[in-house]
Amino acid sequence: MDKRPMSPMDRKALKDTLLFTLPAVVMVLIAIYIPFVMSGYYSLTEWNGISRNPQFIGLANFKTIFSSGSPEFVNALVFTFKYSILFIILSNVIALALAVALTRKFRLANFLRGMFFLPYIMSMTIVGFIWKFIFTQGFEKLYELTGWGVWNLSWLGDGRLAFFSLVLVGTWQSLGFYIVLYIAGLQAIPTEVLEAASIDGANGSQRFFKVVLPLLGPSITTCMFMSLTNSLKVFDIILALTKGGPGGATYSATLDIYREAFQNNNYGLGSAKAIVFFVIVLILTQVVLKVFESREVKQ
């Protein structure tokens, strides 16, 4: 092991590196780690967010969550998991199909890629208000023009339809991001492999399912992970479209935590719910990563 003293140039480089990274480290500490530790402390207290001295009550908040004292949080978790399953399936299947189509050479390919990606760079709150206008006044006009009953349904006023409306809007908004990831994965597949499969007599569907799809393993893993995390933390689209209604049918876990802490002024129980949800998300994401990484085909 080289134990020679550092040269003045090496010391200066190390000092510059520390100085450049220090602001980022401080910001991450302030924005993420310190609030997380404080949330862990407040989860053990009864606090309304105003009083100076939170009352320490131990694990009472967690007992409330895991007993029958918090049915709203359980219902919110069920809604979140149902939303996540449907969102993950739709966003990945549709994005992969569109990515395959957009990798073909035709005149409007680049234009369509940009159009699909455009909603992703928009604020989710703005997207929610746009679709709220579409679901109300837009569909009303379509019903007047066509007379089709599907446009006259209460897409945001009925609990079941509101659920599918949220999935539709969430999928539409994030589709461009997953398309880009899948296009990158498709373009990274060696053409020699596809040519060899064609020479061996594989038709188009056989090449896709037996050659392309296995080689897309890293892209699929990334998209599955991102769609899982994005769906589990769904919040702003619900706040903009339904505000948890009708009758609390579209309350997600994050929206329930927000309501408990900032509307009910019960920061202790809200923090406890956030800790429980954090553990659930951590376990789910690790399981998904392990499962899909184990199935990847090394190129």
Q: Tokens 């202790």 label which residue?
A: 268
* The two structure tokens encoding residue 115: 């159009």
Contact present, 84 and 231 (Cβ < 8 Å): yes
Query: Chain-centre distance of CA 251, in angstroms?
Result: 16
Listed in sequence order, the residues at least 6 apart from 171 whose beta carbon sits closer than 8 Å to its beta carbon are: 87, 90, 91, 94
* DSSP letter assigned to residue 249: T
CB atoms within 10 A of CB 167: 22
* The two structure tokens encoding residue 73: 């949080």
pLDDT at 62: 92
What whole-number distance in Å separates Cα of residue 264 and Cα of residue 248?
15
Domains and CATH numbers, the chain: 8-56 (no CATH), 70-294 (1.10.3720.10)
Query: Chain-centre distance of CA 60, in angstroms?
Result: 31
CB atoms within 10 A of CB 79: 24
Q: Tokens 């802490």 label which residue?
A: 261
What whole-number distance in Å separates Cα of residue 208 and Cα of residue 188?
14
3-class secondary structure, 181: helix
3-class secondary structure, 233: coil
pTM of the model: 0.89
- From residue 255, give the alpha-carbon distance in Å to each of 154, 219, 246: 22, 30, 14
pLDDT at 4: 65
Contact present, 80 and 234 (Cβ < 8 Å): yes
What is the residue-level pLDDT of the chain in tens, covering all 299 positions?
456 666 777 777 778 788 888 899 999 999 989 999 999 999 999 998 888 888 999 999 999 988 876 788 999 999 999 999 999 999 999 999 999 999 988 888 888 898 999 999 988 888 888 999 999 899 989 998 888 888 989 899 988 899 999 999 999 999 999 999 999 999 998 888 888 888 888 888 888 888 889 899 999 999 999 999 999 999 989 998 998 988 889 999 999 999 999 999 999 999 999 999 999 999 999 998 898 887 776 55
